[in-house]
Amino acid sequence: MISYVRSMAAHVLGNIGDPRALKPLKKALQDKDSNVRKEAKVALIKLGDE
């Protein structure tokens, strides 16, 4: 359940579009859960930081 929350947080940060989210999203790329990593990657793409 906790990984679901982290995944949704990454998703929401991508939708908000605030560049201050870049650092935590980059950290989320190292998460142990693949869904969190996927959502972080998508969010970073939305923020223009591929």
Place of tokens 């929350």: 5
Place of tokens 């999203």: 25
Going by the DSSP 8-state scheme, the letter that residue 49 receives in this structure is -
Give the global pTM.
0.89
pLDDT, tens digit, for every residue of 21-37?
A: 999 999 999 999 999 99
Q: Is the pLDDT of residue 10 over 90?
A: yes
Buried b (16+ CB within 10 A) or exposed e, 5-37: ebbebbbebbeeeeeebeeebeebeebeeeebb
Domains by residue range for the chain, with CATH: 2-46 (1.25.10.10)
